[in-house]
Amino acid sequence: MLYSMTGFGRAESTINGRQVVVELKSLNGKQFDVNTKMPPILRSYELDIRNLLNNLLLRGTIDLTVTVKHEGASKPMTVNTGLAIYYYQSMMQIAKQLNIPEENVLSTLMRMPEVVAPEQDVLPEEEWLQVQKVIEEAARLLMEHRKHEGSALYKDMHQRISNIESLLQDILPFEGQRTDKIRAKLTQWLSDMSGKDNIDPNRFEQEMIYYLERIDFSEEKTRLKQHCIYFHDTINKQEVSIGKKLGFILQEIGREINTLGSKANDAEIQQIVINMKDELEKAKEQILNIL
């Protein structure tokens, strides 16, 4: 089972006259990183929110937006009545002394410092617990989105590794030919250097065995096959976050492919190895999207 690292979730609820809207968006990221945008009323719970999301979303770059609206206003305001009365009395005295019209006193009064200010209260604990449930619901929906995206990634990753396994089988017909080609090349080279009649058969066979041992890649093929099987086993596990583990397995697959290519000493096998590398690079690109 695979989960993509990208996803979106949105949830909302009305809590004690406040409409709470939570939106979560996740993108690729090596670790867990969250960017928050929330009203001051929730700032005291920011650490709790980060820990909650870390446990629920595990990894990725997370953007959290929480909007709290109260009776149709996203930023509830409070009026300092005592300070407004003080300003009003002073302004009226000035207006009478200078014979200034009093029509605009109220609009001027509301613009005076600290008369009108945003609400800065702290959300009560019982209401925070309800907000927490809204955040959890948004996270659940985001994980559902991740799971849906992950199904497409699963098919692609499974196919890439299966293609590598198929290409590994394509090498078999060329292995026998490779030995014959090497024997012919060595024979021709020694014949050109010292003459055909001067070749020591025993010495030739010793050199041939030594050379073939150096380019033998049977162990690499076996390990590559085992790594591919391990990849399939891992990708089918019922685990949520396996992206890093799959990345490590791809690294091991890449090492065996590179060694196999360096020992190939055959044009046809080299072409097959190049196709393997192409499939591997496409798998590596996709692994960056897996949770």
Report whether pLDDT(99) > 80. Answer: no
- Nearest 5°: the CA angle 175, 179, 184 is 140
pLDDT in tens, 22-49: 999 999 888 899 999 998 888 889 999 9
Domain membership of residue 103 as a residue range: 77-118
Q: What is the DSSP string of 205-264?
A: HHHHHHHHHHH--HHHHHHHHHHHHHHHHHHTSS-S--HHHHHHHHHHHHHHHHHHHHHH
Same-domain check for residues 86 and 112: yes
Residue 252 lies in a domain: yes
pLDDT at residue 230 in the model = 95
The Cα 124–Cα 42 span in angstroms is 10
pLDDT at residue 157 in the model = 93
Of 202 and 168, the one with more pLDDT: 168
**Mean pLDDT value of segment 105-129:** 72
Of 88 and 13, the one with more pLDDT: 13
Same-domain check for residues 20 and 138: yes
Residue 1 lies in a domain: no
Q: What is the mean pLDDT of the chain?
A: 84
pLDDT at residue 165 in the model = 95
Report whether pLDDT(127) > 70. Answer: yes
Residue 51 lies in a domain: yes
Burial class (CB in 10 A: 0-12, 13-18, 19+), 58: middle
Same-domain check for residues 176 and 109: no
Same-domain check for residues 96 and 196: no
**Mean pLDDT value of segment 128-137:** 94
Characterize the bridge pairing of strands 32-37 and 77-79.
Answer: unpaired
Number of domains in the chain: 3
Residue 40 lies in a domain: yes
Same-domain check for residues 110 and 140: no
Are residues 246 and 157 in contact, defined by beta-carbon separation less than 8 angstroms? yes
pLDDT in tens, 50-71: 999 999 999 999 999 999 887 6
Same-domain check for residues 219 and 247: yes
Same-domain check for residues 223 and 256: yes
Same-domain check for residues 88 and 204: no
* Cα–chain center distance at 189: 55
Same-domain check for residues 22 and 56: yes
pLDDT at residue 232 in the model = 94
**Mean pLDDT value of segment 85-100:** 76
Q: Which of 80-84, 114-118, 135-139, 165-169 has the lowest mean pLDDT?
A: 114-118
Closest CA to 110 of 77, 75, 76: 77
The sign of the dihedral angle between the CA atoms of 48, 150, 287, 64 is negative
Same-domain check for residues 21 and 105: no
CATH number at residue 69: 3.30.230.10
pLDDT at residue 91 in the model = 76
The Cα 15–Cα 20 span in angstroms is 7
pLDDT at residue 207 in the model = 66
Residue for token digits 């020694």?
190
Closest CA to 279 of 250, 256, 255, 259: 250
Report whether pLDDT(250) > 60. Answer: yes
Share of the chain above pLDDT 70, in %: 79
pLDDT at residue 213 in the model = 65
215, β-bridge pairs:
none
pLDDT at residue 163 in the model = 95
Of 214 and 225, the one with more pLDDT: 225
Residue 2 lies in a domain: no
* 108-116, long-range: CB < 8 A, 24+ apart: 109/84, 110/84, 112/83, 112/84, 112/87, 114/80, 114/83, 115/79, 115/80, 115/83, 115/84, 115/87, 116/77, 116/78, 116/79, 116/80
pLDDT at residue 135 in the model = 95
Same-domain check for residues 197 and 253: yes
Same-domain check for residues 40 and 93: no
Token readout for 170 is: 């394509």
**Mean pLDDT value of segment 219-242:** 91
Are residues 62 and 53 in contact, defined by beta-carbon separation less than 8 angstroms? yes
Residue 47 lies in a domain: yes
pLDDT at residue 252 in the model = 95
pLDDT in tens, 187-212: 676 666 665 566 666 666 666 666 66
Report whether pLDDT(117) > 60. Answer: no
Report whether pLDDT(218) > 90. Answer: no
